[in-house]
Structure 1
């Protein structure tokens, strides 16, 4: 079935919103004061983000491709696997979806935001933070994680095994385990973002909202989870295309 471009954009918007709601919702559940999941640990966050990518992939993978990530969209476009005239609309709705998804997280956890006094924990439910105040380390971490994410996601969805067995549903299911493992394995240094929309739009909302005890939005670091995933995405798609396609 061929879907209209408007339907594809709606899928990207909703898919990105779901990712942020489930992912940053898990972070809020663990880090904010007084929640039922307070101190639930990194595994809970990994599960939240794994499901946050897996569920939109299962819903929208066959509609829009479920990019839900500007780095993936740009990586495909630079290698000629996605039309350039669709890039800006895709990225626009991804950014809007992440913004709206984060607004839902704030709405759901508003009493706990009011109870939380640590500005870093509040910011961490919106955007990524470099744990060692090293932008170089943050860039390396985001680049490596994003490269593995995008290279693997492209490899899984293009794998002959899944196509030969007409089993792309299982391929999209695997994406959730991929993200869950990346967060568990490489989440310590930065968060991680692995996705410019997942970091920029929630950070912007953090900047705009008059939250109690929120502190600053750390814009000095904000370029890292934008530039690192995009450059990694371009490199990952280029490598996969020229070696395995």
Structure 2
């Protein structure tokens, strides 16, 4: 697999992943969207279909890692060369940022309507006033379209949740080679992985919003910070390390478990 294949497949695949995954978050969150308030089921299945589509697109080009936790897990397991890891990670981050920009472009009118709505503007100071200002999360009203955030802000719990959820994901991917005669993430494997992502979202996504992918969170968070969105609020950088460190550790842990057993 050439460097060109890795860059092309991971950039395009991750961009599509974030476009469709972030797109369902925008559809459910933003005012003047036909899917407004569709709920958690819509989000979990939307992300599952996003994984499925992106994996089909990139699978034959780069192997469809689409996730630094998967890349690190495969490197620890031995299926990916460590020398290729930086290119995978850089391509994934670039793709995630491109996907987030495309979500903004697609829902441009809805972002404007939502962030200039008097009800949304009035709600922000009132909500912040209920919390100790030293501990108040600096998250804007549409940050959830771009990145994840915890329902209960507890560093240990939030980190452990991301580690556990990502360990399940990467173990499911690593075992594809055992269950299909060693062919790895083929067409059926992409479908199975997408269903695993839906399952993780339904079962383990409630506490933190299940990043389970460092660039899925970091790339769009950077874009949120850079975009000219009115009244967008903060990007909650104090939390941003958890959906990066947790999934990376979970991916490495999954590979260690796989190799051990």
TM-score, normalised relative to structure 2: 0.86
Query: Match of 1:208?
Result: 226
Stretch moving more, 33-42 or 137-146:
137-146
TM-score, normalised relative to structure 1: 0.92
Q: Quick check: 1:168 aligned with 2:186?
A: yes
Query: Match of 1:75?
Result: 73
The CA RMSD over aligned residues, in Å, is 1.8
Query: Match of 2:144?
Result: 124
Structure 1 unmatched ranges of 5 or more: none
Q: Flag the 1:197–1:30 CA change in 2: closer, same or farther, 3 A.
A: same
1:154, distance to aligned residue in structure 2 (A): 1.4
Summarize deviations over 1:147-206 as a string: whole Å, max 9, x none. Answer: 101111111x2133x238999321211111111111122121111110000000100011
Query: Match of 1:41?
Result: 39
CA–CA distance in 2 between the matches of 1:134 and 1:108? 34
Summarize deviations over 1:92-140 as a string: whole Å, max 9, x none. Answer: 0100000000000000011111122446440000011111122222112
Structure 2 unmatched ranges of 5 or more: 121-138
Query: Match of 1:58?
Result: 56
Select the residue among 178, 199, 207 that pairs with 1:159: 178
Q: Quick check: 1:240 aligned with 2:254?
A: no
Query: Match of 1:217?
Result: 235
Q: Quick check: 1:189 aligned with 2:207?
A: yes
CA–CA distance in 2 between the matches of 1:167 and 1:110? 35
* Matched pairs, number: 239
Q: Quick check: 1:144 aligned with 2:142?
A: no
Query: Match of 1:16?
Result: 14
CA–CA distance in 2 between the matches of 1:77 and 1:171? 19
Q: Larger Cα Rg: Structure 1 or Structure 2?
A: 2
